[in-house]
Chains A and B, each alone.
Chain A
Amino acid sequence: MSTDRRTFLKLSAMAAASAAAARATGSQAAGISAAGISEDQARRTGDGVAWNKAPCRFCGTGCHVQVGTRGGKVVAIAGDQQAEVNKGLLCVKGYHVGLALYGEDRLRTPMLRNGGELVPISWEEAIGVIADRIELDPAGFAIYGSGQWTIPEGYANLKFMKGGLSNNHIDPNARLCMASAVTGFLATYGVDEPAGCYDDLDAADVVILWGNNPAEMHPVLFSRLIDRRSRGEEITLIDIGTRRTRSTAHAQHYLEFKPHSDLAIANGIAHLLLKNGTWDRDFVARNCAFRRDDEKGTLNGEAMSFEDYVAALESYTPAEVERISGVPAEKIRLLADLFGDRSLRITSLWCMGANQHTRGTAINSLIHGVHLLSGHFGRPGDAPTSLTGQPSACGTVREVGTLAHTLPGGRVVTNDKHRQYTEEQWRLPAGRINPKPGHHTVAMFEAWSKPKKEGGDIHTIWVQVTNPGQTLPNRNLLLEPGVKDPDKFLICSDVYPTATTAIADLVLPSAMWVEKNGMYGNSERRTQQWFKQVEPPGQARDDVWQLIAVARELYDRGHAGMKDKDGRFLFHMADAQGREVPVWRWERYYDINVDRALFEEYRPFSRLKHKDLAPYDVYAQARGLRWPVVEQPDGTWRETRFRFAAFDDPYVAKGREIEFYHSTTDDGRAQIWFRPYGDPPEMPDTDFPFWLCTGRVLEHWHSGTMTRRIPQLREAMPQAYVEMNRADAKRLGIQNGEQVRVESRRGAVEVPVWLGGRGEPPPGSVFVPFFDERTPINLVTLHLFDPFSKQPDYKKCAVKISRLPPSPPPQRPTPQRQGA
């Protein structure tokens, strides 16, 4: 041990001792007002640490953590053993989630761009600037939100835009993330979100990963699955992927397919089920119908006969599927044999591979279709389960409905009854809600980046809890022109400087995670709640407060939309005695629990689609509950593990084993779709010979703004890279670690090559993670999207890889020849 290290250790030991001494003198956590965590809810340990529950801030898995706070700061994290999702286990991001609050460059004050520089201003000025921009032209104002919005945040924003401004230009980043999963569920079952849940991972005999790498992206779920092997259970894991990953290392079968050809694989399974007679006749006869696209291209398509369905699949023979996909015919037979065996329990998992796909709705519905055709549905372990990437993509975006065309609880703006119900619930005058859907994400940024005189009808976007500067595809098209246009204005509420705050005109510092009350909804229909546990830094404030403050400013200026039909403020809130609380004043915001008030107002919306939510206070006592949460005669609330199946779902009609009670055909049936394979819009060619796939890595969450500020995660994965096949590297003369240029028709980045690293793509493919804002790979990706979901395809486009010209050798003085 070197002297330096010993000295350091001694200093550390002394520091620890002083901390212990300080603790012994009785310093306690800063008190949080009554609407935040109450003292009796935290459990205190002898070391002066108060522990309380919260869902993890990061992905859609929805683990619960125990947050340890002392002296007003988070000091420790533990996995929550009472949480059914994670049973005490976390991943490396979750164990370090507390550190996400303490990067030293947290935003602490509102800032307005002035002469190119962001200059600190007061909150009053900032709220005034936003109100000015809205008054300029309320119809040209847009909000771009997030699957990281809490449920109350999403609900308040939706009400503000659609109920207050009669403006439907509100869309979330989840459009880039799981929109195709939504359209897949809607087209198949008539209602969104998975029927099964994570319990299926405990019961499945076979788990199929469709373009999915849960070992890195949903690590706790992956462990829940493979740790069964340590206990002597047998599971067959099949990885259908376009590159080898850490998940592949645990799989018995790896089926490597050519990008986009997953449609052919699914059709190949269905073909063999029919050919071999191993499809489930009874299940299909009772519960299913067949469907194909219609000429108008509507989401619900048109009915097709069973005979037509069989004929449509006729050409998807194993040999033909092998030709299209590159997966050997015997592996297609393997899949079909597994699906053809009803004694097995089969769970399918998928996430961005199937969703970020120009045929995303198609592949989503085909995966459901294979399960329905084979009858692998409706028993524990038999489930097609789509996973989400964000902690509340389901709870906020999909259930509250913060999309350009939706209203709360599965309603849509184009439906008269839905608008009418929503107006009544919000106590608005009839006709307040605009029946025309607003701009979806790509259209919103296109309209912002197009000059007003050319029809670019969005002048201002307020970005909340997301980072489009890094995550929008084809940024050169969707962002750069707007940044340069003086008529356009970008507002960004966030917690750290990001690629978006760097181009924003107004930057607002937000409270994050346990610095505020919150509610999330995870991938398995589980609604979760947490209390504020520490104060946000500087002048950072809750996102809901920011919105309500703007609404109140407009109200005070006389904006009619900010009043309900009785002239009350749109966000009227009262205390237990019925007295109005001015929550738009920050010092009064925590006089009541605003989250609770908003959630209780939202809750009745959940009944239409049988997604019943329990009262706020029930969630406060639970580690989340899976809807429908149905009140029992004894007053308790029962969650539902498997929808549409009589063994668990109380809404299935008596006498039926399975009932799809939101069927698009109103007959209790789900739709089995035929969707043909077709080539993707951009494929490698001689100029751009490689497929590019983008994605995530274990250590970093999405655009890395939080995780790149956590030392343990940053050191383990400090920068983006391009992963390529060793044969390609050898052919191009590229060394491991060499900096190369990854270039598409849209843009280019320079990143180092990592050979034989975390994963390995096949020859002709490369992979680049998107977490690193210094190498924004979304300059390169494609902005073309699925026709139904409007979700862009980040998983495939054509690129070329070029070596960089050697940097010029350092200048040296010419050596003087010595005389002979």
Chain B
Amino acid sequence: MHASHSNAHAAPLFLAVVVTLAIAGFLVGTGEPPSTGTPLVLAEHGGEETGSRPVPGYLSLRDTPRTGGAQLEADLLRLRGPGRLDPVDLSGSSKPLDLADRALNRAYAGAPPTIPHPIRQDSAAECMACHEEGLRLREAVAAPVPHEDFASCTQCHVVQEAPIPGALIGHGTGHNAFVGLESPVQGPRAWSIAPPVTPHPIFMREQCLSCHGPNGRDALRSTHPERESCTQCHAIQNELAQSPLQGRSAL
């Protein structure tokens, strides 16, 4: 569904790819040859026995700052995640998987996601350590909260796995036949290359880059996260708009 307009993006995309590759190539090229992923083995540290990577000394770091080599560089790149100029997959091929993956921890489109990691049960104070700005650690992404002002995180978001040690007597009750509303796939466009209308309401999702920013799922990422005024071009899906400005209707 992107094919019709992908040409329009081709030139900047090509540039972006070239620049990114050049930067990455420069950094990687100045280190050691690309690693196959197995740990470096340095005999004098007895690496075979522990299987761990040796810790470089301060002196060696001073003398050869990139002792960690390509592996470290690659890790750092992954830590950084895709950059703002990294290419975005516009083929649409990853979209069904990305949307399905996103749906895994939501009961229906629009439901608050459940939490895929343990949390402190007695306070929500720690949530914002990762979720205020958002970050990526290898595959794991902590999305920045898309709704400011709400401080009682655990009111809406619960863990996927019970924290009570033991889990002794099981869950008890059986299957639930609820079938949730599926994710919207694509916002409508007035014509083939018009900016799409958001396919979902944005109440509680005011920070678009939470999902559509550089750390978002591939198929959801914006090609132009540097343009920060999203609603300048993208109209808001208004079908379920419940703004009080519309008056007290029956709905």
B154 to chain A, nearest CB (A): 7
Once the chains are docked, how many angstroms separate the CA of A408 from the CA of B197?
53
Given contacts A12-B100, A81-B243, is CB(A75)–CB(B150) below 8 Å?
Answer: no
Q: Mark B150-192, 1 if CB is under 8 A from A, else 0.
A: 1110111111111111111111111111111111110000000
- Residue B122 lies at the interface, judged by CB distance under 8 Å to chain A: yes
B172 touches A101 (CB 8 A): no
Whether the Cβ atoms of B122 and A757 lie closer than 8 Å is yes
Minimal beta-carbon separation of B188 from chain A (angstroms): 8
Interface centre among A73, A74, A719, A736 (most CB of B within 10 A): A719
Asked whether A246 lies within 8 Å of B166 as measured between CB atoms, the reply is no
B156:A95 contact, CB within 8 angstroms: yes
A-binding segment of B16-24, B104-112, B220-228: B104-112
Q: Is the CB of A226 within 8 A of B103?
A: no
A567-599 vs B, CB cutoff 8 Å, 1 = contact: the mask equals 000000000000000000000000000000000
* A219, A222, A737: the one within 8 Å of B166 (CB): A737
Q: Is B162 a contact partner of A698 (Cβ separation < 8 A)?
A: no
The reply to whether B160 and A249 form a contact with Cβ atoms under 8 Å apart is no
A716 touches B251 (CB 8 A): no
Q: Which 10 A-B pairs have the closest CB atoms?
A: A737-B165, A716-B158, A13-B96, A737-B166, A81-B242, A249-B123, A76-B181, A219-B155, A102-B178, A45-B239
- Residues in B with CB closer than 8 Å to A307 are none
Chain B residues lying within 8 Å of A52, measured Cβ to Cβ, are: 251
Is residue B15 within 8 Å, beta carbon to beta carbon, of the partner chain? no
B149: interface (CB < 8 Å): yes
Q: Which residues of B contact A250 (CB under 8 A)?
A: 151-152
Q: Is the CB of B96 within 8 A of A76?
A: no
- Per-position contact with A for B222-251: 1 when CB-CB < 8 Å, else 0? 000000000000000001101110001111
Least Cβ–Cβ distance between B72 and chain A, in angstroms: 25
Within the assembled complex, what's the spacing in Å between the Cα atoms of A626 and B221? 46
**Sample of 5 more A-B contacts, CB < 8 Å, known A66-B240, A89-B150, A249-B122:** A12-B104, A42-B251, A82-B249, A92-B112, A246-B123
Chain A residues, Cβ within 8 Å of B240: 43, 45, 51, 66, 78
Stretch in A16-24, A122-130, A509-517, A627-635 with 4+ CB within 8 Å of B: A16-24
Within 8 A of A (CB), among B175-225: 175-185, 201, 203-204
- Give CA–CA (A66, B204) in the complex, Å: 15
Complex contact A222–B155 (CB within 8 A): yes
Which of B154, B177, B179, B203 is the one whose CB lies under 8 Å from A246?
B154
> By the criterion CB–CB under 8 Å, are B174 and A13 in contact?
no
Which residues of B pack against A, CB within 8 Å? 96-97, 99-101, 103-104, 107-112, 114, 121-125, 148-152, 154-185, 201, 203-204, 239-240, 242-244, 248-251
Of the candidates B97, B114, B165, the one having the most CB atoms from chain A within 10 angstroms of its own CB is B165
* Contact present for B122 and A759 (CB under 8 Å): yes
B171 touches A230 (CB 8 A): no
B206 to chain A, nearest CB (A): 12
Complex Cα distance, B171 from A713, in Å, reads 11
Question: Is there contact, CB below 8 Å, between B158 and A92?
Answer: yes
Answer yes or no: A738 CB below 8 A from chain B CBs: yes
Instruction: Please tell me if A10 contacts chain B, counting CB pairs below 8 Å.
Output: yes
| Contact residues of A between 43 and 75, Cβ < 8 Å to B | 43, 45-47, 49, 51-53, 66, 68, 70, 73-75
Report B180 CB to chain A, min CB distance, Å: 6
Interface centre among B169, B239, B244, by most chain A C-beta atoms within 10 angstroms, is B169
Chain B residue at minimum C-beta to C-beta distance from A710:
B176
The 8 A CB mask of A284-328 against B (1 = contact, 0 = none) is 000000000000000000000000000000000000000000000
Q: How large is the interface on A (under 10, 10 to 19, 20 to 34, 35 or more residues)?
A: 35 or more
* 23 A-B pairs whose Cβ atoms sit less than 8 Å apart in the complex: A6-B97, A16-B99, A49-B181, A76-B110, A78-B242, A82-B248, A89-B150, A92-B157, A103-B174, A103-B177, A104-B174, A104-B175, A244-B122, A249-B122, A249-B123, A621-B250, A699-B158, A708-B173, A709-B174, A710-B176, A718-B170, A752-B166, A774-B169
Which listed residue (B157, B164, B182, B250) contacts A41, Cβ 8 A? B250
Instruction: Flag if A223 contacts B155 (CB, 8 Å).
Output: yes
Q: How near does chain A come to B127, taking the closest CB pair, in angstroms?
A: 12
> DSSP class of B's interface residues: helix, strand, loop or mixed?
loop
For A220, list chain B residues within 8 Å (CB). 155
- Give A225-244 interface residues, CB cut-off 8 Å to B: 226-227, 229-231, 244
Looking at the assembled complex, report how far the CB atom of B190 sits from the nearest CB atom of chain A, in whole angstroms. 15
**How far is B176's CA from A73's CA once the two chains are assembled, in angstroms?**
13
Contact A219 B152 (CB under 8 A): yes
Chain A minimum-CB-distance residue to B125: A249
Does B125 lie within 8 Å of A16, measured CB to CB?
no
Q: Which residue of A lies closest to B109 (CB)?
A: A76
Are B250 and A620 in touch, CB under 8 angstroms? yes
Say whether B155 contacts A91, CB under 8 Å.
yes
Pick the contact of B112 from A49, A66, A95, A223 — CB < 8 Å? A95
Chain A residues within an 8 Å CB radius of B123: 246, 249
Nearest A residue to B246, CB-CB: A82
Q: In the complex, what residues of B have CB within 8 A of residue A42's CB?
A: 251
Are A223 and B162 within 8 A (Cβ)? no
Contacts of B169 in A (CB 8 A): 719, 774-775
Q: Indicate whether A754 sits within 8 Å of B165 (C-beta atoms), given known contacts A81-B203, A223-B152.
A: yes
CB of B166 within 8 A of CB of A738, answer: yes
A90 CA to B114 CA in the complex, in Å?
15
Contact among A9, A10, A231, A754 for B149, CB-based, below 8 A: A231
Q: How far is the CA of A105 from the CA of B176 in the complex (A)?
A: 9
Chain B residues, CB < 8 A from A68: 108, 181
For B203, the closest partner residue in chain A by CB is A88
Looking across the interface, which residue of chain B has its beta carbon closest to that of A222?
A: B152
Contact B242 A718 (CB under 8 A): no
What are the residues of chain B within 8 A of A231 when measuring CB–CB?
149
What distance in Å separates the Cβ of A767 from its nearest Cβ neighbour in chain B? Answer: 13
* Most chain A CB within a 10 A radius of its CB, from B122, B124, B155: B155
Q: Is the CB of B176 within 8 A of A230?
A: no
Residues of A with C-beta under 8 A to B183: 16
B27 to chain A minimum Cβ distance, whole angstroms, is 28
Taking a contact as CB atoms under 8 Å apart, the answer to whether B171 and A715 are in contact is: yes
Instruction: Give, as a whole number of angstroms, the nearest-CB distance from B117 to chain A.
Output: 13
State in angstroms the CA–CA spacing of A95 and B176 once bound together.
16
In the bound complex, residues from chain B placing their C-beta under 8 Å from that of A73 are 178-179
| Contact, CB under 8 Å: B124 / A249 | yes
Nearest-neighbour CB distance to chain B for A412, whole angstroms, equals: 37
Residues of B contacting A16 with CB < 8 Å?
96, 99-100, 103, 182-183
Give the shortest distance, in Å, between B133 (CB) and chain A (any CB). Answer: 16
Q: Which residue of B lies closest to A773 (CB)?
A: B172
A166 at the interface (CB under 8 A from B): no
Which of B108, B150, B160, B166 has a CB less than 8 Å from the CB of A716? B160
Query: Known contacts being A621-B248, A698-B154, is A739 close to B168, with CB within 8 Å?
Result: yes
- Asked if A543 lies at the interface with its beta carbon under 8 angstroms from chain B, I say no
User: Which chain B positions have C-beta within 8 A of A41?
Assistant: 250-251
* Cβ-defined contact, B168 with A102, below 8 A: no
A226 touches B151 (CB 8 A): yes
Contact B181 A719 (CB under 8 A): no
Chain B neighbourhood of A76, CB < 8 A: 108-111, 180-181
Chain B contacts for A222, CB-based, 8 A:
152, 155
Most buried by B among A42, A78, A713: A78
